[in-house]
Amino acid sequence: VAAGAVGVAPIGVGVDQELISAVPSHNPTFVARNYTDAEVAYCSAQPSPSSSFAARWAGKEAVFKSLGVKSKGAGASLREIEILNDPETGAPTVTLHGAAKAQAEAKGVGKILISLSHSETVAIAFAQAAKSS
């Protein structure tokens, strides 16, 4: 009778890589369209803002892929996928807003796990969308 019911189960994964030089984080229109104010504040305060913006960009793409939803054109804007760092541990965490949130809820996604990494030139990200029980 399901004593050991488990909290979450994976329902989608996403991986993405971006050349840091290819993410136009010096373009205010690009930044305003794709990042929340809190993300901009965080990235701008990092030792290498362009690396942080690129890692988050890869993260947003990875989250988008993990949701397994249709085209971005018709769906969520990447600004609605917000990646901030836990003030306690420094680990990145995902919060969805607007249409992205609605699409995730429609698919039963209760939690999204994320990890980011960047070298001097490349940012990569991995996301896992999990179902809450």
Structural element, H or E, at residue 49? helix 49-67
State how far the Cα of 133 lies from the Cα of 122, in Å rounded to an integer.
Answer: 36
Torsion from C-alpha of 67, 71, 72, 76, nearest 10 degrees: -50
> Which residue from 27, 70, 98, 106 is in contact with a second copy, where contact means CB under 8 A?
70
Give just the sign of the alpha carbon dihedral 23, 28, 34, 40.
positive
Question: Are the C-beta atoms of 81 and 89 separated by less than 8 Å?
Answer: no
* Candidate ranges 31-39, 43-51, 61-69, 76-84; the one touching a second copy (CB under 8 A): 61-69
| Binding residues with a second copy: total (CB under 8 A) | 49
* Candidate ranges 7-15, 36-44, 46-54, 94-102; the one touching a second copy (CB under 8 A): 7-15
* Candidate ranges 24-32, 39-47, 85-93, 94-102; the one touching a second copy (CB under 8 A): 85-93
Helix, coil or strand: residue 70: coil
Neighbours of 76 (CB within 10 A): 23
Q: Any contact of residue 7 with a second copy (CB under 8 A)?
A: yes
Q: Any contact of residue 102 with a second copy (CB under 8 A)?
A: no
Q: Binding residues for a second copy, per CB under 8 A?
A: 1-19, 61-62, 65-66, 68-71, 86, 88-91, 113-120, 122, 124-128, 130-131, 133
